[in-house]
Amino acid sequence: MPVQPTPAASSATSLAILRETFGFASFRGAQGQIVDHVAAGGDALVLMPTGGGKSLCYQIPSLLREGTGIVVSPLIALMQDQVAALTQLGVRAAFLNSSLDARAAYATERALAAGALDLLYVAPERLTTPRCLDLLAGAKLALFAIDEAHCVSHWGHDFRPEYLQLSLLHERFPGVPRIALTATADPQTRSEIVGRLALQDARLFVSSFDRPNIRYTIVDKVDPRAQLLRFIREEHAGESGIVYCLSRKKVDEVAAWLVAQGVPALPYHAGMDTAMRTEHQARFQREDALVMVATIAFGMGIDKPDVRFVAHLDLPKSIEGYYQETGRAGRDGEPADAWMAYGLADLVQQRRMIEQSEASEEYKRVSAAKLEALLGLCETAGCRRVRLLGYFGEASAPCGNCDTCLEPPQTWDASVAARKALSCVYRTGQRFGAVHLIDVLRGKATERVAGWGHDRLSVFGIGADLEEAQWRSVFRQLTALGYLRPDHAAYGALTLAESSRAVLKGEAGVELRRVAARKKASARRGAPAQALPAPNAELFERLKAWRAAQARAQSVPAYVIFHDRTLAAIASARPDSLEGLAGIDGIGEKKLERYGGQLLALLAQHRDALGSAAE
């Protein structure tokens, strides 16, 4: 039975909370509609990109409705940061998770029972315990917000079994509205969220998946560490970023290597002890210019707004995973980069992981289809954003802000080269990988080539007209296009697929992307301060130093005090009154009351310093 909406709070009331508590003048996109729908008692499924303002969609209704809003969140660090940020705004917020000792947990439970909380964040595994359910049954509840709702899907990129139990919220608390939120859900995952959370009667809100501030770049993997270092030094020196690797060992090695090259970096993966992981995550949240090298164990729900780049040194498993991970860049709306180095070994590795897994055949089939879609994104000669958004069912035009738009790749008739490559695979017995095959094609009589007698084959040296990098690209693209398949039982040897027969016979042509020469570094497009004139940029740095001191004193991340965008706006406007400060986005009543005097004093000092310098 669907929830019957109660009379909605007026839009003016939700706008007043937005302005007075959160410091924003207006809602973005569908935020206002979602807030009013949920505040009126309606269920909702919200698909909104990272950085799109999902949190406000349940935080404001929780403040408008009587009772406490219960937020189901999968990560302890996210809960702590959200609660710290809300407390700064004067919102009565708390969390229940394993980081609390018994006394602190009991105090939070008593506060809930007494109606002394506006929002309570709870991990799904705790929420579904009999003790917690009994606690909720005795409290006045405003709503349930299920964050990261894609975790309910077996087909999603971050399945969490404990999320499957959340259907009991509908059964145990039928009169309490529910809002499920996620940044990534293809149609199949979307359908599973609806079914597993019993949201058939919920209103669906789908925002654009586009993150126009993110520039997507995918490069051919040649010397990935050197390529990464060049990317960081030339485009993001002194800025925060995340580097994703597939294995724990690689995370440790890359982090240590970056530090040796003068780039402040920390590792993060599930093999580290809990205390060190917690310390590294806390440092990343609180420090500027730190690079986190991590497995995908790091990042879901990371609320740091000024991550200027996300880099992948290994191929993700799916477009959903890629989108979720790259979405951690530029949450503040300022320019950011999603950069990935991709090669044949990545493709072979991901296919091996699928084929050798113990999952069902259906799961393998779906995983393979998701990988094929990602390969299509990597190999496209068209706009990457068009391909990315199209996967989520959203039509778009070329963006002008991805590598293929900024420097369109050339294609070439590779039919002859493809036949040479496929013939080489056949003549060598379909038992070797790309490195050996390229040596044969280019006529390199290495010890291994000669040992197998491959220097006496008709294909030996027939590919001397192409460089090694070009042949690597040919083999990678032939594999991505399905003409070649890796044989994992033979340690990744390339074998002929049925579709290769027509190419070998000359009945089908092949067009491939050309290997791109290394691009000259693009103009850096980083932090908000870069657009400020010199005096204002200097003020921005002084404001950041003040913010850092406040954050250290309160043991919270710097962005919990103010986002960079808010500091940049202060540095640009240089208000001289509380009224002037109140007009800047991100400064609500509580922050104005708490920090207004200090900010005005700092601004006055800056004006005096400028005046003295001018005399």
Q: What is the pLDDT of residues 347-405, one digit of tens each?
A: 888 888 888 888 888 888 888 888 888 988 998 888 999 999 988 888 999 999 999 99
Q: What is the pLDDT of residue 365?
A: 83
Closest CA to 526 of 292, 232, 308, 328: 308
Beta-carbon neighbour count of residue 409 at 10 Å?
15
3 state SS for 178-209? EEEEECCCCHHHHHHHHHHCCCCCCEEEECCC
Closest CA to 141 of 165, 124, 160, 120: 120
Q: Which residues contact 20 (CB under 8 A, 6 or more apart)?
A: 588, 589
What is residue 413's three-state secondary structure?
strand
Q: Residue 342 belongs to what H/E stretch? A: strand 336-342
Q: What is the pLDDT of residue 3?
A: 40
What percent helix, strand, coil does the chain show, rounded to 5?
50, 15, 40
The span from the CA of 397 to the CA of 381, in Å, is 14
The span from the CA of 212 to the CA of 335, in Å, is 9
Q: Residue 267 belongs to what H/E stretch? A: strand 265-268
The span from the CA of 1 to the CA of 173, in Å, is 12
Identify the segments of the chain with pLDDT beneath 70.
1-12, 154-158, 299-302, 488-492, 516-531, 612-615
Beta-carbon neighbour count of residue 83 at 10 Å?
20
The span from the CA of 565 to the CA of 572, in Å, is 10
Residue 86 contacts residue 63 (beta carbons within 8 Å): no
Residue 353 contacts residue 347 (beta carbons within 8 Å): no
Q: What is the pLDDT of residue 9?
A: 42
The span from the CA of 114 to the CA of 330, in Å, is 39
Residue that is written with structure tokens 């400060």 in the block? 581
Residue that is written with structure tokens 């490069």 in the block? 219
Q: What is the pLDDT of residues 54-102, one digit of tens each?
A: 999 999 999 999 999 999 988 777 788 889 999 999 999 999 988 889 9
Q: What is the pLDDT of residue 4?
A: 39
Eight-class DSSP state of 457: S
Closest CA to 359 of 391, 317, 392, 323: 317
Residue that is written with structure tokens 């008739």 in the block? 413
Q: How far is CA 144 from the centre of its chain?
A: 24
Domains and CATH numbers, the chain: 11-206 (3.40.50.300), 214-406 (3.40.50.300), 411-513 (1.10.10.10), 528-614 (1.10.150.80)
Give the pairing of strands 241-244 and 119-122: unpaired
Q: Which residues contact 511 (CB under 8 A, 6 or more apart)?
A: 411, 412, 413, 414
Read off the tokens for 317: 């498993």
Q: Which residues contact 478 (CB under 8 A, 6 or more apart)?
A: 418, 421, 422, 484, 510
Measured CA to CA in angstroms, residue 170 lies from 57, 151, 201, 205, 253 at distances of 19, 18, 11, 20, 47
